[in-house]
Chains A and B, each alone.
Chain A
Amino acid sequence: MPENKFFNILISLLFGLTISIILLPIILPLTISFSSSYTITFPPRGFTLEWFINIFLFKSLVDGFKFSLMLGIFASLIAIAMSLPATYAFYRYNFKLKGYLENLLLSPSLTPEIVLSFMLLVYFKALKIDHSFWLLLGHVLILIPYATRYTYASLINLDISIEDAAVALGASRLKAFLDVIAPNIAKGLVASFLLSFIVSFNAFSISLFLSYGETLPLPIAMWNYLQVRYDPTIAALSTILVIFTLTLSLIVRKIVELRGVR
């Protein structure tokens, strides 16, 4: 323990400041969502559940929620289905170029998302790819680095010799993978799916540039709503979403202690 009193006080102050910077903006929408005032003001006045009911009166928000849900589920499934074979091969074998290939899988996260979103928009337009695939393709691309990292983390504790044992006992490589490896990494894959889903559900720039037509992903629908109105409806929706995504991440933490996942 440092003997210095001044140092201890400084640390406590910094810790308090950091906690408030991190947690206040997440907690405050929660208090406003019960306020009976018609604009977002602090302190909240009165108590009402009206804003929670109000969410359902806006078709764009309800549809946005459903759309983001579907988009997140499909994009995460595709991203994981593509990254599992690759990460498994990387985990199991050492070969030349492995390091380069691993870095390549992380490259979408090194490209600024707003640049990527714009480039994809121009590219898809030029290639005349059907609008309904734009968002899915874009989301899968930005999920790949996360899906690979999380899937890799789920393999870390796996003892690969069990696969060799199964093969030595007469199973084919594919059967060995499905019967012996898959059950061992299933939990990790579920966690990886949930985390990828959260990334897709919260993604903004990519959704803004690539959404087309009437049905917009939820963050974009909320952003549009905020440009027009500034009332507690959006705070109420935020409350629901904070609880939703934090519950998902809690489930992840419960299922599996993924190391190095942030």
Chain B
Amino acid sequence: MERNNWMIAIPSFPILFFIFFLLFGSILFVIFSNLSSIKDKFIPIFSSEYFILSYLTTLKIGLVVVIVSAALSYPLAFYSHFYNRKLSRVMDIIVFIPLMVNPLIRSLGWMIILGKEGLINWLLMKLGIINSPLRILYTDIAVEIGLLELFFPFMYTAIASSMENIPYETVMSASSLGAGSLRVFKDVVFPLSITGFMTGASIVMVGCAAAFVTPSILGGMKVKTLSIILREYVDVTLDWDAATIIAIAILLTAFGFIVGISLLKRLLLRW
């Protein structure tokens, strides 16, 4: 039944009002009510070494997580979708489990693995590869590993669902014409699923820029991502103007990624 009557939208008014009042209301209010006090602080903060370093750290961590999670997801999604449907169902469950477990608990798990008296150091010392424990926890690498585990499911799901749109026959015909699986992947599957990768990349990038609990625990407040310095300004230095500016920076970066990647996707589809 098709109706173009505005009354149909009435049931959604309460929830829309709620979103407008809290989400858009809070963002617009915070930006505009403080505009006079923060407008002179944008340039000093954006040009400070502290901010630039933190911004670059956040970008670097996000980029590493995007690359590694895609490198893991692509072969697994490709193989399980086209050659082994049973594995595909197993993967669906495996990527579902971590989403149900508190990120704080998973970070604790990584502390047990990466810590000075953790699994990796114990293993390496037992094997005699190292004599004194390696420092992995409280470094960028620890944060990247934790975030990789946090966001791998999203990258995998995005790539796997873009492969669902590739007809099986396409892959089979490429194979029967003599292309090896690597060639099939490179020339057929990869170009057809690039939009899935891009969706995944924007989710992971935005997620890494906004993640708090994982960098706070695995970075021990030493790895200063944007969200960590936002919390510092709110809680330690009590400089809420600076915090507002950092929040705006995170927001703009996140929207920049979302808009940029969706434009790129549109461009690719036309081409």
Q: Taking beta carbons and an 8 Å cutoff, which residues of A are in contact with B? A: 1-4, 7, 10-11, 14-15, 17-19, 21-29, 32, 39-43, 82-83, 85-86, 88-90, 92-97, 101, 104-105, 107-108, 110-116, 118-123, 126, 137, 140-141, 144, 148, 198, 201-202, 204-205, 208-209, 219, 222-223, 226, 234-235, 238, 241-242, 245-246, 248-249, 262
CB distance from A242 to the nearest CB of B (A): 6
Identify the stretch in B45-53, B147-155, B189-197, B263-271 within 8 Å (CB) of chain A at 4 or more residues.
Answer: B147-155
Chain A residues whose CB sits within 8 angstroms of the CB of B213 once the complex forms: 204-205, 219, 223
CB–CB B9/A26 < 8 A: no
CB–CB B14/A241 < 8 A: no
CB distance from A174 to the nearest CB of B (A): 12
CB–CB A19/B149 < 8 A: no
User: Does more than half of chain B's interface fall in helix, strand or loop, or is it mixed?
Assistant: helix
User: Does more than half of chain A's interface fall in helix, strand or loop, or is it mixed?
Assistant: helix
Choose among B3, B14, B112, B180 the residue that contacts A4 (Cβ–Cβ < 8 A): B180
CB–CB A141/B106 < 8 A: no
15 additional A-B residue pairs with CB within 8 Å, beyond A14-B72, A82-B18: A2-B83, A4-B182, A25-B108, A25-B110, A26-B101, A29-B108, A29-B109, A42-B115, A89-B9, A93-B1, A93-B3, A114-B231, A123-B22, A202-B101, A202-B104
Contacts A202-B102, A202-B103, A234-B108 given: A114-B212 contact, CB under 8 Å?
yes
Chain B residues whose CB sits within 8 angstroms of the CB of A126 once the complex forms: 29, 33
Taking the complex as formed, is B100 at the interface, i.e. its CB lies under 8 A from any CB of chain A? yes
Taking the complex as formed, is B97 at the interface, i.e. its CB lies under 8 A from any CB of chain A? yes
CB–CB B11/A118 < 8 A: no
CB–CB A262/B30 < 8 A: no
Chain A residues whose CB sits within 8 angstroms of the CB of B3 once the complex forms: 93-95
Taking the complex as formed, is B127 at the interface, i.e. its CB lies under 8 A from any CB of chain A? no
CB–CB B11/A89 < 8 A: yes
Choose among A42, A89, A122 the residue that contacts B12 (Cβ–Cβ < 8 A): A89
CB distance from B51 to the nearest CB of A (A): 16
Contacts A15-B76, A83-B15, A204-B104 given: A107-B23 contact, CB under 8 Å?
yes
Contacts A26-B101, A40-B111, A82-B15 given: A119-B26 contact, CB under 8 Å?
yes
CB distance from B261 to the nearest CB of A (A): 12
Complex: how many Å from CA A27 to CA B98? Answer: 11
**Interfacial residues of chain B within 68-96, with CB under 8 A of chain A in the complex:** 72, 75-76, 79, 83, 87, 94-96
CB–CB A94/B94 < 8 A: no
Q: Taking beta carbons and an 8 Å cutoff, which residues of B are in contact with A? A: 1-6, 8-12, 14-16, 18-19, 22-23, 25-27, 29-30, 33, 72, 75-76, 79, 83, 87, 94-113, 115, 117-119, 122, 145, 148-149, 152-153, 157, 180-182, 206, 209-213, 216-217, 227, 230-231, 234, 240, 243-244, 247, 250-251, 254, 258
CB–CB A95/B8 < 8 A: yes
CB–CB A88/B11 < 8 A: yes
CB–CB A15/B11 < 8 A: no
From B16, which residue of chain A is reached at the shortest CB distance?
A104
CB–CB A1/B104 < 8 A: no
CB–CB A32/B251 < 8 A: no
Chosen A-B contacts, 20 in total, with CB atoms closer than 8 Å, are A7-B182, A22-B94, A26-B105, A40-B117, A42-B122, A85-B14, A104-B16, A107-B23, A108-B19, A114-B212, A114-B247, A115-B247, A118-B243, A137-B22, A202-B100, A204-B213, A208-B231, A223-B217, A234-B108, A241-B101
CB–CB A86/B16 < 8 A: yes
Chain A residues whose CB sits within 8 angstroms of the CB of B119 once the complex forms: 24, 28, 42
CB–CB A112/B153 < 8 A: no
Chain A residues whose CB sits within 8 angstroms of the CB of B243 once the complex forms: 118
Chain B residues whose CB sits within 8 angstroms of the CB of A112 once the complex forms: 206, 209-210, 227, 250-251, 254
CB–CB B247/A118 < 8 A: yes
Contacts A94-B2, A245-B102 given: A18-B19 contact, CB under 8 Å?
no
CB–CB B101/A246 < 8 A: yes
CB distance from B184 to the nearest CB of A (A): 9
Chain B residues whose CB sits within 8 angstroms of the CB of A7 once the complex forms: 79, 181-182
From B252, which residue of chain A is reached at the shortest CB distance?
A115
CB–CB B112/A28 < 8 A: yes
CB–CB B19/A144 < 8 A: yes
Max count, chain B CB within 10 A of own CB: residue among A14, A21, A114, A141: A114
CB–CB A204/B95 < 8 A: no
